[in-house]
Structure 1
């Protein structure tokens, strides 16, 4: 193993173990040069590789910092957010804040004819802390078994993907400043840049669920893959 590979492996290990948490400033280049007894170019090579892997952020004149891991989601897919966070951070849990059965949800007119709805509010956590605030409504007329589902044991997104087939979905994605309650729950200042993902799903025209997920802006990526057509 080369010295550059050793430096990279050592830093990766500290990040993976949680010893160096997101936002932690790693030693300056000249400090690593002294520690490993190598050329500055060797240190630069290791840090460049770590930055390309998304593990650190290099800031001019400020140094290098452990990056907040990003959750990647396909624009045209419905991801299992828990699995995505666990894969990226090595840890995941869903904190259920509230759950109630109600008869209306003004945010989604599709539920106008429903007689019973279950509204769930919670936080998706990764190793480094809260990742997303979720406010979800499930149509109990269409999915009666969701009334008794224990979302302290399994997050609603995972439960729905495993139990309820859907035939149609719609996304709406917006850049917002964190509202007061969301900011408090995500432990950031009010107005912090966030990405809000709203999603509706139906089964044969019957509404299944509406969810509004608010992600910290530096921890979520939307990805779309395209295949070129026969004409430009």
Structure 2
């Protein structure tokens, strides 16, 4: 890759991150008209083509709505009103009046496998950080966390030891996200999970799988395994959020 190409990519990313930060922070509320492509090109000293690619990416991620004659406006963001919010496991434990701690059991930076590229919807040659973390409530294992982090989106994670902050809250502090998907299932504990959670193999466990995106690329995918009798999910929602079937 030439230095000119690297510079162009860096500028594209900087414009993208600046606009994204204005939207996700609330500085640009829903309905706000973002500066025109011509104004942005002048502000950043780049071509309109570069800005056009940025705005196209923002529109594809649902952050802005493009209008041919009036320009692009900020779309409402629903990430903070999701029926299942993203909670810090520490808060879950402390709500039980128990002492919290976590141990990082493994962390490996490596190339994503073909299966992972497909499952996460990533382009080729992406590098991942695989982290295994065990959360405790008092002296008992509370949750097994198995996480993949996209190092192209969060390169600083490669140097993080997660000693003070577990991977989940660390990511929330370091990178914004605009979409998330949850999958919740009751499963039989695998031998590995059973051993780490100090339960018998095949005992029921609650598994929460979550994937979050920043614009149109995966930030992280995590699998959280809880002993079945030690965890409950609670959600509050308004009529506008009610499911299709009661």
TM-score relative to the length of structure 1: 0.63
Q: 1:75-96, CA deviations, whole angstroms, 9 ceiling, x for partnerless residues?
A: 5211111222123233111111
Output the CA distance in 2 between the equivalents of 1:206 and 1:174.
25
Classify 1:189/1:180 alpha carbon distance in 2 versus 1 (closer, same or farther; 3 Å).
Answer: same
Classify 1:96/1:109 alpha carbon distance in 2 versus 1 (closer, same or farther; 3 Å).
Answer: same
Runs of 4+ residues over 4 Å off in structure 1: none
Output the CA distance in 1 between the equivalents of 2:149 and 2:120.
13
Aligned to 1:81: 89
**What displacement does 1:112 show?**
4.9
Aligned to 1:186: 197
RMSD: 2.1
Q: Structure 2 stretches of 5 or more lacking a match?
A: 1-81
Instruction: Answer 1 or 2: which has greater helix percent.
Output: 2
Residue 176 of structure 1 aligns to a residue whose secondary structure is strand
> What is the aligned counterpart of 2:163 among 152, 161, 165?
152
> What is the aligned counterpart of 1:104 among 109, 112, 119?
112
> What is the aligned counterpart of 2:150 among 139, 154, 157?
139
Q: Does structure 1 residue 169 correspond to structure 2 residue 180?
A: yes
Length, aligned pairs only: 158
Q: Structure 1 stretches of 5 or more lacking a match?
A: 1-73
**What displacement does 1:128 show?**
4.2
Output the CA distance in 1 between the equivalents of 2:228 and 2:193.
13
Instruction: Answer 1 or 2: which has greater strand percent.
Output: 1
TM-score relative to the length of structure 2: 0.60
Aligned to 1:227: 238
